[in-house]
Amino acid sequence: MRLLSGLKLRGRLTLWVCLLLIAALTPVVAAGVHVIRRTVGLQIHGVLQVEAEGLRDLVESSLHEREANARAWTEDAIVRGALLFGTYAKSDAVLATLNGRHASFAGLVLFTEDGRAVSVSRPELREAFEGHERDVLASPWFQAALEDRLDPTALTRAITRTDPFFGRPVMPLALPVLSPISGARVGVLLAAYDWNQLEQVVAGALQRSRERGQRSFTLEVLGPDDGQLYSSRARNVPAPLRTVRAQAVDDTRGTGAGRHWRFVATVDEEEAFQPLRNFLKLSVLAVAALLLLAALAAWALARGVTRPITTLSGLVSRVVREGDLTQKVALHGRQDEVGELASAFARMMDHLRESTASLQQGTRVLGQTVAELTRATEQQERNLTQQTAALQETQVTAQEIQQTSQVAAERSQAVLGLVARARQAGSAGETTLGASLDGFEELRDHGVRLAEGISSLNERTQQIGGITQTVKDLADQSNMLALNAAIEAVRSGEHGKGFSVVAREIRSLADQSIQATGRVRDILDDIRGGIHATVALSEEGQRRSEAGLAQVRASGQSLRALTDIIQDNASAAQQIAAAVIQQNAGIAQIFTAVTDLSRMMDDTLEAMQGTQRMTHTLRGVAERMETVAGVWRV
């Protein structure tokens, strides 16, 4: 900070720009290096993982294919026939042909169950195994073949171990040969896989690593006990101290060759990250060049910024020292922020000149105004004193009106209570009248139903009268018939006496029927008369009930009108009470307002006295302002 305080603006700007650039680039470069290193590490590990998995797939597919080939050869008819019938010359030819087609095998040998080599793919193998039946029988791979399985120990033999029979590192794939007739074991077929074939398998991966510039790239095959089965690194080349490695494990579910192997791809860490270090060196050089260019640019920028500021500083110094506001700002043609600053400073000078001139003129006017304001405040103070006295009298009057209004509000509340009771009485009367009107309506309906029943009874009596007339007519006819029968009986003499007796009886019954129908007609006439009288009474009662109902309705309408009038009176009373209450509240507000106005008038008087004091002070200030404004020359 002491160094910065001793520098001018140009140096500070240059230094600050460099420091800000360094502060901005440092985390960016650090984050970039971290991200790039992590990305490169992931890429290298991904490439190694791909190479390890590729080696695993190639080796597994090759070994599984060779195992499948060996199992297929054990089922060859000539091979089985050689063990069954001793035709070994044919089996030698077959094995030689198969070995020629599959050069990845170091040799094929057919054994009997007692460990004797009876057929081979190459003649030297017969000589190699001759006389070593005990060694063959004691070998783990032969014992495993007799049990129809592959020996895991023989399968994990290191590539550096040379087989005594084949003269090279091999992996023995020994499988039993079964009789096609009985299915019994008749011998063992040994297919010796040549470990040197792995060099051809990994050649492509090693070539790709050399093209990437990774000379230390190594592929390894490790057994279940981490024993090294194969390594692409030369024996005289030492292993690097720090490596990047990736591995792939074979399918542990398999039961054939290569179970529990691990395929490892490694590369020297220093060699793997060498491109990143080269990139970092170039980045450091680029950042240094960028900082140098930034320092030059910052110095040029600071120089361009500070030169016009220096000019403006000299101009301000002359204005302050000499008090001369007629100075002109001569910075034209710049369109940047400094040009805007110069333009703003020029406008400030113009405004300062105008303000100074206006200030000199205003101080003179201010002095005159202060004198007039002093006179006006004195006159206003006298007026306010008179208004204060009037307000005090108004306050007393408003207090009396407030008391009267409060009494009226209390009486209006009493009126509201009476109105409420009248409204309740009107409602009760209206309810009672409604109940009476409903009773009259039911009575009228009952009379109507009674009249309808009597009318129905009258109709039935008329029907009965018709029936009795019919009976009378039948009796008259019976009488005439009986009379005619008696006449005919008399004419008949002795033979018609019995019929004459019957005719008399019939006439007698007819006369009785006529008399009975006459009595029934008299009774019906009496009933009909009673019915007519009852109908007349019912109609009269209905007319009277209608008249009574009309009177009750008229009374109900009158009572409803009275209730409406009570309601209107109640509403009017409520409105009057509300108006009185509102008037009371308004009068209280008026009284409060008059009180507040009186208080405000007192405050105004105090403020007016303060205004007078301030006018005296303002007069002194105006005089000093006039003295100050006279310093500047415009």
372 compared with 192, residue with greater pLDDT: 192
pLDDT at 95: 92
Instruction: Judge if 395 and 512 occupy the same domain.
Output: yes
Please spell the DSSP secondary structure of 28-52, one letter per residue: HHHHHHHHHHHHHHHHHHHHHHHHH
Q: Specify the DSSP class assigned to residue 496.
A: G
Instruction: Judge if 56 and 198 occupy the same domain.
Output: yes
Is the residue at 534 inside a domain? yes
Parent domain of 79? 34-277
pLDDT at 391: 67
In terms of average pLDDT, the best of 199-208, 398-407, 599-608, 620-629 is 199-208
Question: pLDDT at residue 490 above 90?
Answer: no
pLDDT at 256: 47
pLDDT at 156: 56
Instruction: Judge if 357 and 241 occupy the same domain.
Output: no
Residue 173: CATH number of its domain: 3.30.450.220
pLDDT at 169: 82
Is the residue at 7 inside a domain? no
CA distance 299 to 168: 77
Of 258, 277, 296, the residue that ends a domain is: 277
Find out whether 54 and 208 touch, Cβ atoms under 8 Å.
no
- What is the pairing mode between strands 185-194 and 218-222? unpaired
Query: CB within 8 A of 222, min separation 6: which ones?
Result: 228, 229, 261, 262, 263, 264
Containing 272, the helix (H) or strand (E) segment is helix 269-272
**Bridge-partner residues for 192, per DSSP?**
107, 172
Instruction: Judge if 249 and 364 occupy the same domain.
Output: no
Find out whether 146 and 121 touch, Cβ atoms under 8 Å.
no
Instruction: Judge if 85 and 179 occupy the same domain.
Output: yes
CA distance 247 to 265: 6
Instruction: Judge if 507 and 614 occupy the same domain.
Output: yes
411, 412, 418, 422: CA torsion to nearest 10: 160
pLDDT band at 433 (very low <50, low <70, confident <90, very high): low
pLDDT at 189: 93
Question: pLDDT (tens digit, 9 = 90+) per residue, 157-180?
Answer: 555 567 788 888 888 888 999 988
Instruction: Judge if 178 and 77 occupy the same domain.
Output: yes
Find out whether 110 and 177 touch, Cβ atoms under 8 Å.
yes
Of 225, 256, 277, the residue that ends a domain is: 277
pLDDT at 92: 92
Instruction: Judge if 273 and 363 occupy the same domain.
Output: no
Question: pLDDT (tens digit, 9 = 90+) per residue, 226-275?
Answer: 767 777 777 777 777 788 888 888 654 444 445 567 878 888 887 777 77
Instruction: Judge if 359 and 247 occupy the same domain.
Output: no
Percent of the chain with pLDDT over 90: 5
Is the residue at 29 inside a domain? no
**Tokens 């009796």 sit on residue:** 475
What mean pLDDT do residues 38-43 have?
A: 79
Task: Return the minimum-mean-pLDDT range out of 17-31, 38-52, 79-93.
Answer: 17-31
626 compared with 116, residue with greater pLDDT: 116
Of 247, 277, 307, the residue that ends a domain is: 277
Question: pLDDT (tens digit, 9 = 90+) per residue, 514-527?
Answer: 787 778 778 877 77
Instruction: Judge if 370 and 235 occupy the same domain.
Output: no
Query: Going along 465-508, which residue ranges are E strands?
Result: none
Q: Specify the DSSP class assigned to residue 163.
A: P
pLDDT band at 94 (very low <50, low <70, confident <90, very high): very high
Task: Return the minimum-mean-pLDDT range out of 34-43, 169-178, 404-413.
Answer: 404-413
pLDDT band at 97 (very low <50, low <70, confident <90, very high): very high
Can you count the helices (H) and strands (E) in the chain?
13, 8
Instruction: Judge if 61 and 192 occupy the same domain.
Output: yes
Question: pLDDT at residue 129 above 50?
Answer: yes
What integer best gives the mean pLDDT of the chain?
75
Instruction: Please state the domain count of the chain.
Output: 2
Question: pLDDT (tens digit, 9 = 90+) per residue, 612-625?
Answer: 677 777 667 766 76
Is the residue at 538 inside a domain? yes
Question: pLDDT at residue 477 above 90?
Answer: no
- What is the pairing mode between strands 170-178 and 185-194? antiparallel
Instruction: Judge if 377 and 486 occupy the same domain.
Output: yes
* Cα of 366 vs its chain's centroid, Å: 69
What mean pLDDT do residues 180-199 have?
A: 84
Query: CB within 8 A of 109, min separation 6: which ones?
Result: 95, 117, 119, 120, 121, 125, 129, 189, 190, 192
Is the residue at 578 inside a domain? yes
Is the residue at 524 inside a domain? yes
Residue 348 vs residues 24, 153, 212, 332, 336: alpha-carbon distances, Å: 38, 100, 70, 16, 18
Question: pLDDT (tens digit, 9 = 90+) per residue, 296-331?
Answer: 776 766 666 666 677 777 777 777 676 666 666 665
pLDDT at 109: 94
Is the residue at 19 inside a domain? no
Is the residue at 286 inside a domain? no
What mean pLDDT do residues 432-457 have?
A: 70
Residue 604: CATH number of its domain: 1.10.287.950
Torsion 286-288-292-298 (CA) sign: positive
What is the CB-side half-sphere exposure of residue 122 using CA atoms within 13 A?
15
CA distance 558 to 555: 5
Question: pLDDT (tens digit, 9 = 90+) per residue, 510-567?
Answer: 778 778 777 877 887 777 777 777 777 777 777 776 776 677 677 667 667 767 776 7
pTM for the predicted model, two decimal places: 0.42
